[in-house]
Chains A and B, each alone.
Chain A
Amino acid sequence: DAGITQSPRHKVTETGTPVTLRCHQTENHRYMYWYRQDPGHGLRLIHYSYGVKDTDKGEVSDGYSVSRSKTEDFLLTLESATSSQTSVYFCAISESRVIYGNQPQHFGDGTRLSIL
């Protein structure tokens, strides 16, 4: 499997608290993605990054921010967590955007986040 580490793996927190999830890669891939996975919705893209300090919104970006200060790290922040953000969060990496080549996305093991 690709060298992707997500931390923490599990977190329980209260509504209104800030939460930061970390994705760390050792593959030197340019693209990094944050998804959330919920029953009935599949995987939905929150934000993605196409380089250091270069990020863009996905389809469910409201309530989330991201930062990428180094190639290997992509952080996802919930500034003030809400119960609707309870989900499993996956980070993924790829060498290039899918449409420009045959580069698959490699996923981390996920973070299970519960907001009470």
Chain B
Amino acid sequence: GQQVMQIPQYQHVQEGEDFTTYCNSSTTLSNIQWYKQRPGGHPVFLIQLVKSGEVKKQKRLTFQFGEAKKNSSLHITATQTTDVGTYFCLLSNSGNEKLTFGTGTRLTIIP
């Protein structure tokens, strides 16, 4: 089946530092979505990327889709305590329409 590597698994940063999580697929994707799950909460949709090389921004968050549509990244500039949580990618395989979540990156902020 599709292998979805999301790295790093954990990230501890000082408040104000930047943070990046990467999602890598072994197969070509039709699109990718990103979700955030606060501790004790449920995943909440952030954004969807569809086009090769696409870049989207939401305030301090920047999302990129790789040129080959096999990887994506989420970058947070100047982290704040409200950014705490686990960030997941959800991949849609272009070949078999399978939906697969990445294993997630858990972000903790040191005040």
A residues near B (Cβ < 8 Å) are: 35, 40-45, 59, 90, 92, 97-99, 102, 104-110
Contact = CB atoms under 8 A, between A and B. Distances in A.
Given A42-B103, A45-B99, A98 B90 contact: yes
B44 A107 contact: yes
B88 interface: yes
Contact of B45 (A44, A45, A104): A104
Contacts of B48: 98, 102, 104
A23 to B, nearest CB: 12
B92 A98 contact: yes
Interface residues of B, number: 25
Interface SS majority for chain B:
strand
Contact of A59 (B1, B30, B102): B1
B101 A42 contact: yes
Contacts of A45: 99-101
B73 interface: no
Interface in B59-107: 88, 90, 92, 94, 97-104
A1 to B, nearest CB: 8
A41 B6 CA distance: 11
Contacts of B1: 59
Contact of B97 (A97, A106, A107, A110): A97
A43 B87 CA distance: 11
